[in-house]
Chain A
């Protein structure tokens, strides 16, 4: 039977050095769905993404991704991954366009050339994150937030079917963040992209995602955040007495407050 879910976790347990960091993880992400994972530092968000991508093997349970049991069975370029921001060596001798082209070039077989349409895809995806004026710049001279936008463009340039991002909004200013979240919605609606991303900003992402999962070793809640996140799950994941505003297009006052 064809699995119509983009991602499906079934009773997945993941350990480092015999200690479980993820327990009993069960959820699924539909096609054309934006799914966000929120939770405290060390809650296992990065580990969850790595397990999804096959970079980390689960101790128990099964992961299905685009109908396959491992991401490596999919054609290169089906999934794009933006890892958690890490410091890139500033002397690394690549330009912005070199970086954005990396994913496209990696998906090519030996002998296949980098073509004018590829070049166009690089320009287009830089335009999506408003970095087209920096196409020839040395990557190392950009600011942290600009680098992050270029890396987002690299993921988009591959035209993946599933986009996986670990804290993509790190370093983005308020304007860039706003347009980034709008971009995600556009990509879901126009290209049918499925998107899984980790975020800290529960309030902001609640307004745009289809599903949210509150993760602290276990998934304490998952569902549509606009239906309300139970107080028990909020407490288990963020501690007592934490409340957050849900920003969405219907809530004019929330937007003005930022």
Chain B
């Protein structure tokens, strides 16, 4: 373990996993409560078009995919709010369109070889200290805002219309949460990849819902569960020479299923 920490990429990935657990634990709680779990998968897949464009025109794919994902996140929310397109249809349309664009961009830049599977399933060797600073910055903005507005976000997750009448700026909070989800997803693509990141959006809250009926404990449990899954997955992946993102998600999924079974048998 100590010698692992001497490896720079591992150290970066480790601390990044801890910070991401904090962010995903919180976001997952609100996303799942608001019945928008599919949004995570949709935004993540939208990143593909952005990554391919970045590679094609020689810009860091982080920035291009951030533009793609945040645009999609805002548009999906806005269209659903105006009742023009249902949220799920909007998500389905955006992400398939963006993935198709991505396939075209890759075809257009045929001479260029890039690490496709790294973007799809994550590659922790690519995690840099710069990424760590970006997550730190994201946490420094998200955490205070969520703490200050926690009760208002909880209220609107429970009952949007009543919350709006009580003075909660529902549309603005929604846009903020969607943008942040997009940012956190784009950041974590390096670790878990486009395809696996939606697990981190859904599993933390789904896991804590099995055991907790109190929101404070539920959020704490979601964060701890994510942190344990991500770091355990990271360490296992190193010793058994497996891809880190996949190991984390398999670990988290297994814990989830076992918990579900335990809860069922205990309460029967």
- Give A residues with C-beta under 8 Å from B: 50, 53, 55, 71-72, 75-77, 79-83, 88-89, 91-95, 98-99, 102-103, 105-108, 110-111, 138, 140, 151, 154-155, 158, 164
Contacts and interface: CB of A to CB of B under 8 A. Distances in A.
The 3 A-B residue pairs whose C-beta atoms are closest, nearest first, are: A76-B167, A81-B165, A105-B151
6 contacts: A89-B35, A94-B158, A102-B166, A105-B152, A106-B151, A138-B213
B165 A80 contact: yes
B218 A76 contact: no
A165 to B, nearest CB: 10
Interface string B160-172: 0111111110000
B155 interface: yes
A12 to B, nearest CB: 18
Which of A50, A89, A108, A140 has the most chain B CB atoms closer than 10 A to its own CB?
A89
Interface in B188-227: 208-209, 212-215, 217-218
Contact of A79 (B151, B158, B165, B215): B165
A99 B155 CA distance: 8
B166 A107 contact: yes
B154 A94 contact: yes
B167 A107 contact: yes
A89 to B, nearest CB: 7
A106 B166 CA distance: 6
B154 A102 contact: yes
Given A81-B166, A91-B209, A155-B162, 7 more contacts: A91-B213, A92-B158, A93-B214, A95-B213, A102-B159, A102-B163, A106-B167
B80 to A, nearest CB: 15
B33 interface: yes
Given A80-B165, A103-B166, A107-B166, A92 B155 contact: no
B7 interface: no
B164 A103 contact: no
A107 B162 CA distance: 12
B148 interface: yes
Interface in B95-148: 148
Given A83-B159, A105-B151, A76 B215 contact: no
A158 B155 CA distance: 14
Contacts of A76: 166-167
Contacts of A79: 165
Contacts of B155: 102-103, 105-106
A177 to B, nearest CB: 21
A77 B168 CA distance: 10
B245 to A, nearest CB: 28
Which of A103, A108, A111, A158 has the most chain B CB atoms closer than 10 A to its own CB?
A103
B165 A99 contact: no
Given A79-B165, A80-B165, A102 B213 contact: no
Given A93-B209, A99-B158, A106 B163 contact: yes
B164 A55 contact: yes
A98 B214 CA distance: 9
Contact of B162 (A81, A89, A95): A81
A14 to B, nearest CB: 14
A132 B151 CA distance: 22
Nearest to A52: B165
Contacts of B209: 91, 93
A164 B166 CA distance: 12
Given A91-B209, A93-B212, A106 B158 contact: no
A91 B209 CA distance: 7
A242 B92 CA distance: 48
Given A76-B167, A107-B167, A82 B162 contact: yes
Nearest to B34: A89
Contacts of A53: 165
A236 B167 CA distance: 37
A111 B151 CA distance: 12
B148 A93 contact: no
Contacts of B217: 93
B161 A55 contact: yes
A81 B161 contact: yes
B159 A98 contact: no
Contacts of B154: 94, 98, 102
Contact of B158 (A88, A107, A164): A88
Contacts of A102: 151, 154-155, 158-159, 162-163, 166
A222 B37 CA distance: 45
